[in-house]
Amino acid sequence: MENNILNYGKNPTHTVFKLSWPAIAEQFLICMVSLADIGMVGSIGANATAAIAVTASTIWFINGFNMALCAAFMFIVAKFIGEGKFNIVRKTVRQSITLSVCLGILISLLAFSIAEKLPVWLRAEKDVVDLAALYFKIVGLSLGTVTISTVVSGVMRAAGNTKLPLFANIAANVLNIAGNFILIYPSRYINIFGVSFNIYGAGMGIKGAAVSTAVSHITLALFLVVMLYKNDTPVKIKIRGDYRPKKETIVDVIKIGVPVCIERCSLSFGHIVLTGMISGLGTIALAAHYLTDQTEGIFYLPSYGLADSATALVGQSLGAKNEKLADKFAFIVCVINIIAIAIMCVPVFIFSKFFISIFTNDPLVIQQGAITLKIAAASEVFFSLYIVISGICRGAGDVKIPLIAGFVGMWVIRLASCYLLAYKFNLGVVGIWLGISVDTVFRGLICILRIKSGKWKYAWK
């Protein structure tokens, strides 16, 4: 099946929608399962929520390496498909498996080795430290398989296959929810239409949530790798073949992956520093921040899906030397993103207290979280544009501007603003989110100016 996706729909707008909706649905599903995790764990208490919260920023940091490798191979695969070089595409896919397995093993070993020390480094309260260490130790062992599934999903999407990653995530996340339901809670009776059933439960609490998450990570990676060999797409490969990384591929991976890695890891490491800053405000503030951060994830679900589609479409357009089409896809993706974000943010802004109360029954967490969620909703359009335009730029091999915007935004603007507003002006977690908003507006404006300049199309030349 050797074709590109530039004429996937009846017109460019239709092509964007056809390619994007599975990716958006996939992001939505991932977020919903994450929120279900939060709701289930949150029913145990604020300490359990804080235990996951204190490790979340480190997991994002680790995922920065995954995203960097994924972005590099998405660009390379999309470019070669646009050029019609399908033999090179298949060789590249084999190399992506080798590099993702190597990186995954390294990540799992590192995560497991720091699990017990991490909550202490991040200034978690005594009641949270043991829970956080237990959770991260179990989940950490499976993070290497996340590397593999992230990269394999990326090369599939670069070839226009966005439905298979969606269905794979559906299966893995259903498994995760079922595992949570069985492992977190003890055996209990539930009532359905007046009939009581005795449901088995392992009563493992946060340990059960970690085991369920780890199993779903491993299952997803195995399934996607098998489908890479079986599903008929331009990136389908045979088991036999040369999996050794080639010099030219490594050079391209470094050119794209290193700036993306620096961008993602600097942002995530900034989140780790920010988590330590918020931990100093107490468990209630940390829980309110985490719930806001996770709920905010709903806002930019369309943005990540559109960004992946933009990388594939722009990469294939420029590979085919069709700059006008690349421009058109970039414009359409940005417009769709703005409309989608506006539709989602308005109700969340109005009913922020309701959304926070879904995931916790702690009145203090609800009170603070309702305010911080309003602040997040008000500035989200700028962060969403940063996400989408970064995807457009990656498709063109233009990775420096998103890196500069992200690095300066996090380390110069966000951390300084958050510290001043939270501690010097005594605004607590509300000050944290005001500082975050200043950063998101800055990043969005920088990326908008880059797209308007048109220079992004020539960055790889």
Amino acid 141: pLDDT: 93
pLDDT, averaged per 10 consecutive residues of the chain (461 residues), comes to 64 86 78 70 74 80 89 92 90 95 95 90 82 91 94 91 87 88 83 76 86 94 94 87 92 90 83 84 86 80 87 90 92 93 89 86 89 93 94 92 92 94 93 95 95 88 62
Amino acid 52: pLDDT: 80
- What the block records as the tokens of 151 is 């990269």
Amino acid 386: pLDDT: 95
- What the block records as the tokens of 193 is 């239409």
Amino acid 2: pLDDT: 54
d(CA 141, CA 105): 9
| Dihedral Cα 135, 39, 126, 273, nearest 10 deg | 80
- What the block records as the tokens of 399 is 């990775």
Helix (H) or strand (E) holding 201: strand 195-202
In order of 48, 120, 127, 128, the CA distances from 116 in angstroms are 16, 8, 14, 12
The answer to whether 290 and 53 are in contact (CB under 8 A) is yes
Map out the domains of the chain as residue ranges: 12-458
The answer to whether 326 and 314 are in contact (CB under 8 A) is yes
Q: DSSP label at 196?
A: E
Q: DSSP label at 5?
A: S
Amino acid 436: pLDDT: 94
d(CA 10, CA 187): 53
Amino acid 4: pLDDT: 62
Amino acid 53: pLDDT: 75
The answer to whether 444 and 382 are in contact (CB under 8 A) is yes
Amino acid 127: pLDDT: 80
